[in-house]
Amino acid sequence: MTAQIGPAAAVLGGGVMRSDAYAAFLGEEYLASYLPAGGGSVKLVVAGDADVADRFEQSLSAEAEQQRCLMVRLSAETTKAHMIDQVFFAVARHVDWGEVAAAVVSVAYDEIAVPAPPGRLAVAEVAAHHDLDPRELYRSVRRRLEQTLLADTGLPRELRRALLRLAQAHLGSGDVHPAESRVVVDWLTGERVGLRELRAAMIYARIGRHNARTMLTSVGRLLLRTGHHGLVLQLDLTRLAEARRPPVPERTGVYYSKAAVLDAYELLRQLIDATADLVGMLVVAVVPPGLVTDEKRGLPSYAALQLRVADEVRDRRRTNPFASLVRLEVRLEAVR
């Protein structure tokens, strides 16, 4: 298979791409069709320097906006990239959960053959629009919501219950108080919520490292229901390369021990192995060249990830943009 990756000038010798060419490739091959069709992928991008990384981020952001994908940019400097629950919370803060719930309710009305007027989802308004009994309509749409959400085994159980409560809030029947909706959103975004308030919302577990991966891999699937073409998650892992912390007055953000670096690599390894569950989601991890070859803090220190992205056999003249590991404006030997 031969991929069109732009003009010859876009490819440097040794299987290396320019940042704008690779962003355009991702936009055409992944964001335009693959993600909307339910596909998912994880890419490891080696950026030649900070300027290359910045230009790639800007180009990818423009592609995501053009293709109607939600792009979330996270940095290991400000987000604990070795903790899957913190990554999910950071992503969840960029999601309009009210919009997701509204899309679910709108589909439920369509499925019972009572389409809601644009911008009006309350049962009373929809019933008046179609000259129906509000009580009968409420029972029908609520039953449909329960069947659609609670039976969707592709979503984690607690997420299904949370979405059901948010969806019921749009019905305007008084079943869900606005404060309860706020509790659900706070739970999704990692805010402190009391157990009593969670139980009132039919949620019986907090989001932690034990269940956050399935929560994260479900976000793309939900965004497809709202009209987005998927989720693009860019992780800037440059901070992992800093082995020594600067003096206290100069410190900013999060720093990583060797154990934390390995946990971050394990997080990526888990996402790669869960590619089949990444419906409508593209994960792009950006690393500096040093992390590709550093024996102590780089990929060679964690074979489980290295073996999943290593390109020991590759064409030194042409790049393979479909590969798991892609070099942007930097020449490196294949990962050993």
CATH number at residue 251: 3.40.50
pLDDT tens track for 129-158: 999 999 999 999 999 999 999 999 989 999
- 54 Cβ partners below 8 Å, 6+ apart? none
Give domain status of residue 216, yes or no. Answer: no
Angle at 313 (CA atoms; ends 310, 319), nearest 5 degrees: 85
Beta strands 325-328 and 281-287, pairing class? unpaired
Phi and psi, residue 213, nearest 5°: -65, -45
State the average pLDDT over residues 88-93: 98
State the average pLDDT over residues 52-57: 97
% the chain with pLDDT above 70:
93
The interaxial angle of helices 212-225 and 258-273, nearest 10 deg, is: 50
- Are residues 106 and 188 located together in one domain of the fold? yes
- Are residues 233 and 320 located together in one domain of the fold? yes
- 191 Cβ partners below 8 Å, 6+ apart? none
Domain that holds residue 276: 8-83+228-328
- Are residues 277 and 306 located together in one domain of the fold? yes
- Are residues 114 and 76 located together in one domain of the fold? no
Q: Is this structure's pTM higher than 0.85?
A: yes
Tokens 């994960």, residue? 283
Give domain status of residue 54, yes or no. Answer: yes
Looking at the predicted structure, is the pLDDT value of residue 165 above 80?
Answer: yes
Q: What is the dihedral of CA 277, 90, 53, 13, to 10 degrees?
A: -10
Q: What is the pLDDT of residue 5?
A: 46
- Are residues 250 and 318 located together in one domain of the fold? yes
pLDDT tens track for 280-322: 999 999 999 999 989 999 999 999 999 999 876 667 777 889 9
- Count Cβ atoms below 10 Å from residue 291 Cβ, excluding itself: 21
- Are residues 77 and 116 located together in one domain of the fold? no
Q: Which of 92, 254, 62 is nearest to 166 (CA)?
A: 92
Q: How many domains does the chain have?
A: 2
Give domain status of residue 307, yes or no. Answer: yes
pLDDT classification of 16: cutoffs 50, 70, 90? confident
Looking at the predicted structure, is the pLDDT value of residue 12 above 50?
Answer: no
- Are residues 130 and 192 located together in one domain of the fold? yes
Looking at the predicted structure, is the pLDDT value of residue 174 above 90?
Answer: no
pLDDT classification of 168: cutoffs 50, 70, 90? very high
- Are residues 192 and 261 located together in one domain of the fold? no
Length of the chain: 336
CB 320 within 8 A of CB 284: no
Give domain status of residue 212, yes or no. Answer: no
Q: What is the pLDDT of residue 143?
A: 96
Distance, CA of 75 to CA of 81 (rounded, Å): 8
Give domain status of residue 46, yes or no. Answer: yes
- Are residues 134 and 161 located together in one domain of the fold? yes
Give domain status of residue 264, yes or no. Answer: yes
Give domain status of residue 92, yes or no. Answer: no
Tokens 């290295």, residue? 306
Q: What is the pLDDT of residue 312?
A: 64
- Count Cβ atoms below 10 Å from residue 1 Cβ, excluding itself: 4
Query: In the 8-state DSSP scheme, what is residue 208?
Result: -
- Are residues 181 and 242 located together in one domain of the fold? no
State the average pLDDT over residues 179-190: 96
Q: Which of 7, 22, 47, 53 is nearest to 330 (CA)?
A: 47
Looking at the predicted structure, is the pLDDT value of residue 335 above 70?
Answer: no
- Are residues 72 and 28 located together in one domain of the fold? yes
Give domain status of residue 219, yes or no. Answer: no
